[in-house]
Amino acid sequence: MPGETYLADCRARVAFDLLANTWNSVVLWALRDAPVRPGALRARIGGISAKVLTETLRRLEYNGLVERRGHPGSPPRVEYALTPLGRTLLPALEALGEWGFDHGDAVLAAQDRAEDRAQEAARPTRSGVGSRASF
């Protein structure tokens, strides 16, 4: 079932699906400069649990974008790095990141406006507390 997307431009879907989860893009982004050790990754990213981080790294490994180096001992010495294939994705990722820098505020503003519209649709009186939904 994973195949069988009969969209005209199927190969583009591969890229879209790769980024279709919360952490893949973030971890790739965090690895773009140099190999990083898991602890440093967690610190740099923030808000990701150890379990989810390893899951994400395994997933990226599975897709050939990330490589795991070194083996455990005491203390364990492990690093994760982009593969050559993973590095080919960087330009597109940075284009995305840069777009975020340039237009992220506009998106947040749009969310706020949508939120306000939803509020006043529900209630004529304004009593908005701004906890934004996730999307």
Report the interface residues with DNA, using CB under 7 A: 20-23, 37-40, 42, 47-52, 54-58, 68, 72, 74-76, 78, 134-135
User: Can you tell me whether residue 33 is helix, strand or coil?
Assistant: coil
124 binds, among DNA, a copy of itself, none (CB under 5 to 8 A by kind): none
10 vs 20 by CB, closer to DNA: 20
Give exposure, 46-71, as e/b (b: 16+ Cβ within 10 Å): eebeeeebeebbebbeebebbbeeee
Q: Minimum distance between the CB of residue 21 and DNA, rounded to whole angstroms?
A: 4
CA distance linking residue 119 with residue 122, whole number of Å: 5
20-28, 72-80, 121-129 -> range binding a copy of itself (CB under 8 A):
20-28
Selection from 115, 105, 116, 119 nearest residue 135 by Cα: 115
71 vs 75 by CB, closer to a copy of itself: 71
Backbone angles phi, psi at 123, to 5 degrees: -135, 130
11 vs 71 by CB, closer to DNA: 71
CA distance linking residue 100 with residue 67, whole number of Å: 27
Any contact of residue 15 with a copy of itself (CB under 8 A)?
yes
Q: Give the residue, chosen from 103, 116, 123, 128, that forms a contact with a copy of itself under the rule CB under 8 A.
A: 103
